[in-house]
Amino acid sequence: MATEIGGTKITFGDPRQPKALPLSHPKARWGEFGRKTTVLPKGYVRRRGCLPLPCDILFDRDIAVRLRDGVVIYLDVYRPVNDVLKIPALLAWSPYGKQGGRGNQVLDDFPFRMAVPLRKLSELQKWEGPDPAYWVQHGYAVINADPRGVGKSEGDIYHFGSQEGRDGADVVDWIGEQPWCSGKVGLSGNSYLSISQWFIAAERPKYLAAIAPWEGLSDLFGEGLALGGTITTPSLNFDLQLLQVNAGENSWENATQMVIDHDIFGPYHDDKRARVENINVPAYVVASWSNPIHTFGTFCAYMKLTSEKWLRVHDTWEWPDYYDEVNRTDLHRFFDRYLKGIDNGWEKTPKVRVKIIDTAIPTTRQGVDMTFSAFPPPQSIPMKLFFNGMDGSLSAAYPPSSRVEYQVKTGGCEFIYKFETDAVLCGPIDLCLAVSLAEAADSDIFITFEKILTSGYVGSQLIVPYERLYQSFLIRAANRAGLAPETQVLFYKGPAGQARLSRREPHPHDNIPGFRKANMEVRTFVKQHETVLFRPSVGPIGMNFAKGEQLRLRVSGQNPAVFPPVDQATLTVDNFQNPNETGVVSIHCGTYDKSGSYVTLPLLSQC
């Protein structure tokens, strides 16, 4: 069990909560513990209103597995009752608790279960994991794991990195050697269960046959807590609170404190970057345009994959997308091909499938479906637009020299492009800013892209496909009235980006065209009034624009990020210094040396 990496001692716990959440805490929702094998009969109902089991399921509870360093962790296994046929298995790996329908995160914690009705799930699934009711019926085993430190598993809880990768790889190979297993194991699940797949698969366990990362970054710091070189209070608080509510009997790795204490990155931070390029099994990758946590990182990971891969980009929230019947059937075909060897024509599936969003439509799942041979789409044409500080426009013509300034604490500036014909934008965004700074040593810069409708309103789409009109109505009303600020995360307006001026240098060996990552190993401050060119980290775009609609690009010092609430979490970061308390940022346009600010958009079609 690692206590330091590259000479950097790992911080465990927090003075306010040194150990993991006790199993007796209501948030843990801890159930019975003890080795037990039972048959859950067809028709069994885990709780009133949930999906009855469509078949008998053999349930092996609290199986002890010893990892390579001697630590013992516990698994629950759901599999068909018939022991004659050897079957493939799906592993769900996360610290949220393995007990079906329990754990520290459940859909009931969110408004209207985030459009995943109770009747659609058996509640045997762990949070964000595959439902045994479906997969066992179709000849798969589902394994829910409590990683080290979680629940009754021994050791301390780790937060991604090579330790978790090795542990997960050990479990994959334990599963593959079980007498009931065919020797084929897949990884499934979204968010944390997706991130863990990158780390586990990079270890190349012997029996791993396929992965399906469903919205998950692959670099905790470069794509998450320090995206664009910024380290901000909202992202730190969200990560800290997720860590706080993990339940177990020992301590927990405080990765949040590690990024605060060690903002010059080294071996520890590099350990939190999955070696995606090492993955050698087929991958079905799912991303969205709108996820505030995972969008940038999921695309980065997909781009780095060298194994056979498919990408699907959807237009909704991750949980209803993962449990949607059509998408689950699609995933079933993928696993049947690579875990069962069924020749079902999966290879003919388009390599890239995307849903183009129209934020003029207030509800999700209304976009246009497109397919491509790769991402970015080979058909896209770079559309370069220059910032014009004289009139606040974005223009294909190089503008006269000017600058626009704003106070970082309260202000910002906007630039607008009007579409003269219908257009579709799909792919990475290349944004280059010519910036100078006064009255401050450093500054965080935040960028947003929005559609301005012909009515003058900003396009905004509720990305959760609620079943009932009253549910959508209540969410919209709460958001408009400011009664629940966290509901902002459920509305998508367009891509976003961010960067810290002192971290403007690109990462020397981990950069992907269109997905810039900051070099956090150095800090280069800007001299007062010195103009520098740099490229912020910006998420990709998949939007259409009708004739007369406008694209508004806003640059400001205010962080627009909103994260989902973490139920019953109380910890927040203390005394964290925000660089955007003072200062004036100037955006330089049309400079004489032709190095002014511009944005290059991926124009797919214009007609």
Listed in sequence order, the DSSP H helices in 72-224 are 132-137, 162-176, 192-202
Give, for 469, the enclosing helix (H) or strand (E): helix 469-481
Give the tens place of pLDDT for each residue, 183-237: 999 999 999 999 999 999 999 999 999 999 999 999 999 999 999 999 999 999 9
**Six-digit token string for 457:** 């309103």
What's the pLDDT band for 317 if we cut at 50, 70, 90?
A: very high
Distance of CA 195 to the CA centre of its chain: 8
For the chain, what percent of residues have pLDDT higher than 70? 99
Residue 511: pLDDT band with limits 50, 70, 90: confident
Q: What is the pLDDT of residue 594?
A: 72
Considering only 28-37, 335-344, 472-481, 590-599, which range has the smallest mean pLDDT? Answer: 590-599
What's residue 420's pLDDT?
97
Confidence at residue 592, expressed as pLDDT on a 0 to 100 scale: 65
Ranked by mean pLDDT, which of 1-5, 527-531, 580-584 comes out on top?
A: 527-531
As a whole number of angstroms, the distance between CA 19 and CA 74 comes to: 19
Please answer whether residues 282 and 307 qualify as being in contact, where contact means their C-beta atoms are separated by less than 8 angstroms.
yes
Residue 393 clears pLDDT 60, i.e. is over it: yes
Q: What is the pLDDT of residue 178?
A: 98
Residue with the larger pLDDT of the pair 496 and 562: 496
Q: What is residue 380's predicted lDDT score, i.e. its pLDDT? A: 96
Beta 550-556 vs 444-452: how paired, if at all? antiparallel
Answer yes or no: is pLDDT of 607 > 60.
no
The pLDDT of residue 101 is: 87
406 confidence band (pLDDT: 50, 70, 90) = very high
- Asked whether 314 and 286 are in contact (CB, 8 A), the reply is yes
CB crowding 361-388: b at 16 or more within 10 Å, else e: eeebeebeebebeebbbebbeebebbbb
| Chain-centroid distance, C-alpha 362 | 23
**When comparing pLDDT for 567 and 388, which is higher?**
388
CB 13 within 8 A of CB 19: yes
Task: Give the single-character DSSP code of 351.
Answer: S
Q: What is the CA radius of gyration of the chain?
A: 24
pLDDT at 591 > cutoff 80 = no
Quick check: 15 pLDDT over 80? yes
Percent of the chain having pLDDT more than 90? Answer: 92
One-character DSSP codes across 534-596: E--EE--EEEEE-TT-EEEEEEESS--------TT------SPPPGGGS-EEEEEES-TTS--
The predicted-structure confidence for 150-172, as pLDDT tens digits, reads as follows 999 999 999 999 999 999 999 99
- Which pLDDT value is given to residue 605? 72
**If we measure between CA atoms, which residue out of 150, 226, 160, 225 comes closest to residue 199?**
160
Q: Candidates 3.30.565.10, 3.10.580.20, 3.40.50.970, 3.40.50.1820; correct CATH number of 2-349?
A: 3.40.50.1820
Q: Confidence band (pLDDT; 50, 70, 90) for 606?
A: low
Q: What is the pTM of this model?
A: 0.97
The DSSP secondary structure of 40-83, one letter per residue, reads E-TT--SSTTSPPPSS-EEEEEEEEEE-TTS-EEEEEEEE-S--
Domain-wise residue ranges, the chain: 2-349, 380-458+493-557+571-604
Report how far residue 222's alpha carbon sits from residue 507's, in angstroms, rounded to the nearest whole number.
9
The reported pLDDT for the residue numbered 508 is: 87
Choices 2.60.120.260, 3.40.50.970, 3.40.50.620, 3.20.20.80: CATH for 380-458+493-557+571-604: 2.60.120.260
Of the pLDDT bands very low, low, confident and very high (cuts 50, 70, 90), residue 8 is very high
Asked if the model's pLDDT at residue 430 lies above 80, the reply is yes
Find the mean pLDDT for residues 263-287.
96
CA distance 476 to 482: 10
Helices 162-176 & 192-202, crossing angle to 10 degrees? 80
Q: Judge whether residue 437 has pLDDT over 70.
A: yes
CA distances from 395 to 284, 399, 450, 495, 603 (A): 39, 8, 17, 20, 15
Q: Where are the beta strands (DSSP E) in 341-390?
A: 352-356, 368-372, 381-388
Tell whether the model's pLDDT for residue 288 goes beyond 60: yes
* Contact of 269 with 213, CB cutoff 8 Å: no
What average pLDDT does range 128-142 have in this prediction?
A: 98
Specify the pLDDT at position 83. 74
* Mean pLDDT across the chain: 95
Range picked from 99-103, 185-189, 569-573 for highest mean pLDDT: 185-189
Average pLDDT over residues 396-422: 96
Helix (H, G, I), strand (E, B) or coil at 308: coil
